Amino acid sequence: MESCLVCEQVQSRWAVPGGIIYESSRWLVDHCIGPLGVGTLIVKPKRHVVHVWDLDSEEAAELGPLLQRTASVVAELTKPAQVYVCLWSHARGEPGHIHFVVQPVTKEQRQRHGGGVRIQVAMFDANVLPPADQVEAFATKARASFS
């Protein structure tokens, strides 16, 4: 396997802004390091998994409830119009370590960009990273909501 940023984060405990928000024996939740806004969380398996169908039975059993719980935490803390949950699994055009993006979306974002993936594309095109202090404050609140 070539280098995998997600595996490097998991194995070295490389801290993204705000650090690990939630951890189980199989999954990690932390804040997105990209330009998808404050409150966008990433749910990722600790083990290198490239396809959803490669999840073992324990990982699969935990996934649905963890995505629901993560979306609930995001909704509670951001009060969005919707929370998007998207599977991302490509790195440099090739299948990579799967991770789920749990993103709060406002009515204004939907109206401005048309909703769906257009919001994420526009945010990546703008490439505005959320301020680290706001991410850290959100992560502290999210960590408390998970416990």
Residue 45 inside a domain? The answer is yes
Domain boundaries, position 84:
5-142
Strand order of the sheet with strand 82-91?
20-23, 27-31, 41-45, 94-105, 82-91
Domain count, the chain: 1
Phi, psi angles (nearest 5°) of residue 129: -80, 140
Give the C-alpha separation, 4 to 46, whole Å.
12
CATH at 22: 3.30.428.10
What's the rounded Cα separation, in Å, for the pair 60 and 18?
26
| Paired sense of beta strands 82-91 and 94-105, if any | antiparallel
Instruction: Provide the residue-wise pLDDT of the chain in tens; the chain has 147 residues.
Output: 467 777 777 776 666 788 899 999 999 999 999 999 999 999 999 999 999 999 999 999 999 999 999 999 999 999 999 999 999 887 677 888 899 999 999 999 999 998 788 999 999 999 999 999 999 999 999 999 998
- Read off the pTM: 0.92
